[in-house]
Structure 1
Amino acid sequence: MNQAARRIGRTLALVLPVVLVLSGTLAVTRVPWAAPTAESQVLTASSDNASTARAGRAPHEVLRDRLLTELQEKNPGVALTHLQEATNGRPSLARYCMDIARDLGRAAVAKYHSARKAQSYSRPVCDTSFAAGVAESH
C-alpha cells in the first residue's frame, strides 16, 4: 500500500505542474490590451509574428505621439490637459514634460498657422514650455 501511494504521489508531482502551466497558458491566450473597439487589439500568447516595432519605444515617445495626434484631432488645450494628467499619474514622465509641451506648441502653430491662435491655448503646464514652443515657431 505504501508503494502505491508513493507511485501516485510521484505521478502527481510530475503531471500536476504540467497541467497547471498548460491551463495557465490557455487562460491568457487572448488578452485585450485596449478598450473594445471595432479594431480591438488582441495579444496571443503563442503568437510568433507579434509586432516588436512598438515594443522598443519609450513611454515618453508614445505619449508625445499620442498627444500630437490628439492636438491635430481636437485642440492643444485637450492635449495639454492630458499631458498634465499623464505626468501627475506617472512621475517618471515629468522629466520629458517640457520637451513634449514645447513640441505641442510648435505643432499648434503649424496647425493654426498663427502664433496668436496657438498661444490662446497656453497653460502653465511644465513651466510654460508650450508658450516657448509657440514662440520658437513664430
Structure 2
Amino acid sequence: MNPVARHIGRTLALVLPVVLVLSGTLAVTRVPWAASPHGTQVLTSSSERTAPRGEPRARHEVVRDRLVAELQEKDPGVALTGLQEEMNRRPSLAKHCTSIARALGRAAVRKYGSAHRAHAYSRPVCDTSFAAGIAEFR
C-alpha cells in the first residue's frame, strides 16, 4: 500500500471517532436529567429546527417529522413508500425530497444501529438520497 495512503488512513482512523463523539456531544444542548437553575429542562438536538411559537412550520418539515416517526414505529420501507406517495400528492415538495430521504436514511441507521440493515430497505425514491443519508451517518 502507498505510504501516503496509509498515513491518511491512520490519521482518519484516529481523528474521525473524536470528531463523531464531539459532534454527538455538542448536539445536545440541555438534557432532562441535568440540574437546571431556571427549573426548565429540555432536550434539544442541533439537527432539529423548530419555528418560533405562533409561526407555522414549513410543510416539508411536517412531512419529514411524520415520516421519521413512522419509520421509528414501523420500518423504513413504510416511510419511503409514504415519501413517494407524498411526492405524488404534492409535487411542490419535490425540491425537498432529497433532504427528507436523507433524514430517513439517518433515522434508519439510528434505529437499527447498522448501515447494512438499513440499506435493506432502500427504494428508488429521490434517486439515492436514502442511501446517502445512511452513508452520512457512518
- The TM-score with structure 1 as length reference comes to 0.60
Per-residue deviation, 1:56 = 1.0
Q: Deviations over 1:61-114 (max 9, x none)?
A: 100000010000000000000001001110010000000000100010010000
1:115 corresponds to 2:118: no
* SS of equivalent residue, structure 1 residue 121: coil
Q: Name the counterpart of 1:56.
A: 56
Tell me how far apart the structure 1 counterparts of residues 86 and 53 of structure 2 sit (CA, whole Å). 23
How many residues align? The count is 87
Alignment of 1:23-62 (within 5 A): 53=53, 56-62=56-62
* SS of equivalent residue, structure 1 residue 56: coil
Unaligned runs of 5+ in 1: 1-51
The structure with more radius of gyration: 1
Which amino acid letter does the alignment assign opposite residue 100 of structure 2?
A: I
Per-residue deviation, 1:54 = 6.9
Tell me how far apart the structure 2 counterparts of residues 61 and 103 of structure 1 sit (CA, whole Å). 11
Percent identity over paired residues:
68
Q: Name the counterpart of 2:88.
A: 88
Which amino acid letter does the alignment assign opposite residue 80 of structure 1?
A: L
Any runs of at least 4 consecutive aligned residues in structure 1 with deviations exceeding 3 A, and if so which? Answer: 52-55
Q: Name the counterpart of 1:20.
A: none
Unaligned runs of 5+ in 2: 1-51
